[in-house]
Chain A
Amino acid sequence: MTAREPIAVVGLDCRFPGARDPKEYWDLLIQGRDGTGRVPQTRWDAARYHRTPSADGPQPGRANTLRGGFIDDPDAFDPGFFGISPREAVAMDPQQRLLLQCSWRAVEDAALAPADLADTDTGVFVGVMANEWACLHLTDYENITARHGSGNGYFMGANRVSYHLDLKGPSLAVDTACSSSLVAVHLALAALRSGECDYALAAGTNLIMTPAINIFYTQAGLSAPDGRCKPFSSAADGIGRAEGVAVLLLRRLGDALADRQPVYAVLNETRVNQDGRSNGITAPSRWSQQRLIESAWRAAGVTADDIRFIEAHGTGTVLGDMIEAQALGRLTAERGAGGSIALGSVKGNFGHAEGAAGLAGLVKAVLALHHRTVPPSRYADEENPELQLPTRRLALLKAPQRLPSGTVHAAVSSFGMGGTNAHAVLSSPPRTPHRSSGRAPGVFTLSARTPERLRPNLLAQADALARQPADRLAQLCWTSNRVKSRLPHRVAVAAHDLPGLVRGLRAEAERHGRTQSGENPGRGTAAAPAVAFAFTGQGAQHAAMAAAWYTASPVYARLLDEVDELLRPHVGRSLRDAILEGDEDFRRTALAQPALFAVEYAMAGALADSGITPSFVIGHSIGEFAAACTAGALDAADAARLVARRGALMDALPDGGGMLAVPLDAAEAGRLLQGRPRLGLAAVNAPGRTVVAGDLAELAALRAALAGRGVTARPLDVSHAFHSPLMLPIVDAFRRESAQLVPRTPGLPFYSTVHGRRSAAGEPLDADYWARQITAPVRFADAAAELLAAGPTHIVEIGPRAVLTPLLARLRQDDADGAAVSCHAAHPGEHAARCRPQQLLGELWCAGLSPRWDAVYTAEDQVPRRLPPYLFDDTFRAWRSAAPPRTAPELTASTPVIPQGAAAAAPPGRGRGESCPPATADDLPHSVGELTHRLVCRVGGHEPAAVHRGSRLHEDLGFDSIQVMELKARIEKELPRLGSLPVEDLLASLSTLGDLIDYLSECLLTDPGDVTADRPTADGAASTAADRAPDPPVERLRDSLPEGTPS
């Protein structure tokens, strides 16, 4: 670590006006869109505090604008996700809530699970200057509760993130006014460089909850009447305020590259200084800005020739723009390289985000370096000539500009009103291609806090994956295992190609859309897992059995190769090749027994390598050999020799033996065998599921006798009468073969199907055991019942087909304690998916196990790729609107929309003053609102109840230009006073029904009147109309309506 160590931006998340996430932010920037809007009704009654300044100057207590940059849904939060009670969430500054969610998402965006940062020294540095929540709450002395302490305060914005993510590095809030968040980044860099932390979250936040600063800006002559910053433009006339929240996850570049983590951009250097005693405490200082930038560039080792673009502070005040241009120009004018340095300020897109402004600019620069394109600067068409930008080698971008290849540098400025200035130098990330292995399969894992959140999150992943290159399947799946697998409600989809994965995720989303709340199969179990492996016996073998494992699991392939080497001298051929080539059906027991052993040995080993390790084992007949290996009671070499010999000896026995499945209990079957010496009890698989074996003629006689009693016995398709007296001739030979074994006791509980119980401590698996195993009945039912009683949480059948799984499921039903056991077949049979090993791990993970995912991916596929971060539940809403000062907040009719149990936490009587955006048609203001609502429903043919203020005319209600024209005609007919409505306004500026209502209300207000009403008015939307038309009482609206209009 060095003082100059470059710092990587590895993850980010943000919300700004007109942009709900980083992607939408980039779209807003690159398209040069305007994110400002009318002050939402829920913040404060904009009309009440608005007055166009007269010739005498601004009116006291009034702001000159009705607009600003406001984020959508600031009242939404997912308290349950963070384990916060709804009541506590209601008492939290919404900035804390937004920071929590953005921080989580920023960490996930870095292809990292937030849980992986828990208990680390990760730092949290939050820039914040808005404390308006406190202003609203802490003056209401009567209603201050214990929760208000943790719900308020700058410090808590940072400390809450540290608390809920369990981060133990530095955690602090920074207030240097408008430079707060870039100063926070500066402190984060220092902490990373000093080694104080290895990761740092650097954040900025700003919510506008009261008009206080609007009024201040107006009184100070700094407020733009249209609520828009127009940086470096000749139209610049002041500041428009904006909201925002942004979080960056930072890390030392070397560490990020070593982890192959994706890097958006590199922070080379940051600097902070102060104006000191300048022309006034709030006046910017050209000399301090200049010194700051000089020092930052020098420290970063760059000159004006290296810098491609500068994201300026650029508030759009005439003085501020001039001073900034002069300070920058002192350096940029020295540019010797061709062309100019692009200059811009995101404030032109949505205004000045104050405490979050530094990060708004920094995130813009980071995304520009990431996309290698600099977004255009709004208002560049009307550049202020006084600034002499061309002679300063600065150019406002009128269109997006591509960055050249190679490393490029950028700079970001952010200045605070009290004179604390910050500047950062960034560069494009180093080129670090990570090729994938090609077309390896994978299992995508997604988890959510509640079953309801599975569907939206599944769809978000499916949409994003559909746009990814095909070869990244395994890398994306591996990333999902790493990032998305820690929450309780789980879905796993295995796939061998990306389109298949996308289809699988969509199908799961569909399924979870139908699933009733609370009914969810993929839910991790709380108990400590205890896994049993159940090894299948003969009969499960088939051509190409489990061949998919060889291609899909590198560890399985290695183990099968190894055991094949051990078997080959004894079998005389490669069983691996016989399996993979698929033309051997393994009917001959000389091949079937060693082949089953090989498959089970490799499968158990591959699962153990994936972190699925057994605490118990049980094996059915030949399955006991692989079980004994797994339990440490047999070496693979010994087992290979024995199973090959066992198979060969049995194969050499004469024909004439068979097996019969009898639907009777063991005792009853045993009675039938009396007087039939060439028959024996071969297996007791479950109650009423018994197998007898022996001489074919005697079996036929038994079958006929049973048929006479109405009992249907079923002959098994076998070559010999295994576990019957007919096997006696080979027992001695096999005992001799086993004699060299060093008797060993299993290292795990071994449920012997010879004994029909757990092997006792003094019962080694020796030559006698294996010899006896040949003729002894397979007492699976007894052994399995004892296994189930031992309380395994999961049983995995190891073998090429599901044979024991249905038996175990049946035994489980009979066993009250066993009901909780989750049974899985490692390989269900011929029709198993090509990516079965991956699918199985997904299945086991859904059932509550924690696989070691790396085991099923090659090293080159273990590359983190960005996936969409978590989509939180936004049904909980809590907000408090600014009320007129010096009066207690009004009781609002609408209580917070808090789901289920939350309602109890915030009863209507306690929720005083907290309001939320009108949600249904019922909440619409009377008169114009109802009329417009009715007309929109009529023109669009909508159910009135389905249309509300927030309904978007185009996206939600399907309005096209023809319907808009029809609506216009109807409105004009119903409200003749309006005359002809300008269609451009209707088409261009009206998004929601609420906008339309506000717009029409504004149009109807032509007479300026006294602002005396203290109830909310229906606010105008379009700025042109709004700025022309101040605000008479709402009663006037009713007068203007034609007769018969509902009111």
Chain B
Amino acid sequence: MTAPAVHLASVGTCLPGDPVDNATLAKLVGIDEQWAEMFIGNAARHFAVDLATGQVRDTLADIAAAAADRALAQAGLEAADIDCVVMGTATPDQLMPATVNLVADRLAIDNVPTYQLQSGCAGAFQALDVARSLLLAERCATVLVIGGDVCAKHLETDYDPASRSSAELVNYALFGDGAGAAVLTADPLGESLAVHQILNRLVGLGREPGQVIDWFGLGDRHSDRTAVFEDYKAIESAVPLLARQMFWELLDDVGWRAEQVDYLLPPQLSARMSERISAAMPAPDAVRVNVVGSVGNNGNALPFLQLAELLQRWRGPGRVAAVAVESSKWIKSGLALERI
């Protein structure tokens, strides 16, 4: 049986700087444009760092605050209306203080509970889930949920492109920076959407991580461990299956049939992979909302960018199923929305 709904009042997003296309990437970091187009498929992404100069323009807190401010403005709320903030990110600006609290400070939010989840692609769903639970428990009435990632730390701008392996170059073509935010409320606010269910399941027992982002400190900064690692083969084989599982779990939970789903937000990996997964998902008549091709894989921001794109396109009643898969230690997540 489905739990009572909470409400999605608004979504705001922020992509730093101008879009960086593959031609620019080819020029600045030496990726092969045709290869990027063929194997990754992402046409553009945004970076918080200026690739040409190496200057870091924005922190995660900067873009998360901008996204949050847009979500607040969209919902017609002021910072003082927010009584809880939950944020998901894989790449906090610092390990301490948690970026969520810097964002709260920027928005002049104080004296409220805040949470930051260390998370990958499922982080947005986890953050939304925490928010929903707090709302249902009547611990608060208006929650700001934020997701975002900034990969500036992992982009080297002063190296010889010829010396890089293709695995390293993939990172430039695949990832991007961005932030998204949503306001969830206990009571409907204007033209809000009912959030019927959010599911999160860890399914990584005994499985090797498909993605690793390491961090270094004074003691091990000279270690030769890889900062960013992906097992693309494992990801390619596991994600489609997990995505389908989550779709059916979600529908069972809310009691919908596949043909009743109007919009489907599939997992976002690379544009090529997302297209394949998306095509293989059930509910063939549901409109797919994929964004990774134009914004790059910006992790915790992606579901918000998908929601923003959805709200842009969609008027009137309908049902939405969203699925994300985090391939680090393998988490599958799902979200069911409805506008009546």
Contacts and interface: CB of A to CB of B under 8 A. Distances in A.
Interface of A: 30, 370-373, 400, 402, 404-405, 431, 433-436, 467, 469-472, 499
Given A371-B80, A404-B141, A405-B142, A467 B110 contact: no
B43 to A, nearest CB: 21
A402 B106 contact: no
B73 interface: yes
Given A404-B141, A435-B74, A471 B69 contact: yes
Given A470-B66, A499-B57, A431 B83 contact: no
A898 B202 CA distance: 72
Given A402-B112, A405-B142, A469 B66 contact: yes
A323 B144 CA distance: 44
A434 B73 CA distance: 7
10 contacts: A400-B111, A402-B111, A405-B142, A431-B81, A433-B73, A433-B75, A435-B74, A469-B69, A470-B65, A471-B69
Interface in B61-89: 62, 65-66, 69-70, 72-78, 80-81, 83
Contacts of A434: 73
B78 A436 contact: no
Interface in B128-181: 141-142
The 4 closest A-B pairs by CB, nearest first: A469-B69, A372-B80, A433-B76, A470-B66
A235 to B, nearest CB: 26
A435 B73 contact: yes
B14 interface: yes
B102 to A, nearest CB: 11
B291 to A, nearest CB: 19
Nearest to B186: A405
Nearest to B187: A405
A371 B14 contact: no
Contacts of B78: 431, 433
B10 to A, nearest CB: 10
Contact of A471 (B66, B108, B141): B66
Nearest to A403: B80
Contacts of B58: 499
Interface residues of B, number: 26
Contacts, number: 55
A83 to B, nearest CB: 36
A372 B110 CA distance: 10
Nearest to A374: B111
Given A372-B81, A402-B83, A467-B108, 13 more contacts: A371-B108, A373-B80, A431-B76, A431-B77, A433-B72, A433-B75, A433-B77, A469-B70, A470-B14, A470-B66, A471-B69, A472-B69, A499-B62
B228 to A, nearest CB: 27
A467 B80 contact: no
A397 to B, nearest CB: 12
A contact patch SS: loop
Interface string B21-41: 000000000000000000000
Contacts of A372: 80-81
A470 B68 CA distance: 11
B319 to A, nearest CB: 28
A434 B74 CA distance: 9
A777 B76 CA distance: 63
Nearest to A401: B111
Nearest to B66: A470
A373 B62 CA distance: 25
Contact of B70 (A30, A431, A471): A471
Contact of B69 (A404, A431, A470): A470
Nearest to B63: A470
Given A431-B77, A431-B81, A499-B57, A373 B70 contact: no
A469 B83 CA distance: 19
Nearest to A469: B69
B73 A405 contact: no
B73 A471 contact: yes
A861 B135 CA distance: 34
A433 to B, nearest CB: 4
Nearest to B14: A470
A632 B14 CA distance: 47
Output the residue of A30, A433, A467, A472 with the most chain B CB within 10 A: A433
Contacts of B62: 470, 499
A26 to B, nearest CB: 10
Contacts of B112: 402
Contacts of A436: 73
Contacts of B81: 372, 405, 431
A523 to B, nearest CB: 34
A499 B77 CA distance: 24
B74 to A, nearest CB: 7
Contacts of A30: 110-111
Output the residue of A372, A436, A471 with the most chain B CB within 10 A: A372
A110 B8 CA distance: 33
Nearest to A400: B111
A777 B83 CA distance: 74
Nearest to B75: A433
Nearest to A429: B78
B48 to A, nearest CB: 11
A470 B65 CA distance: 8
Given A431-B81, A467-B106, A373 B111 contact: yes
Contacts of A371: 80, 108, 110
Contacts of B14: 470
A405 B83 contact: yes
A452 B138 CA distance: 54
A400 B112 CA distance: 10
Output the residue of B74, B80, B81, B106 with the most chain A CB within 10 A: B80
Contacts of B111: 30, 373, 400, 402
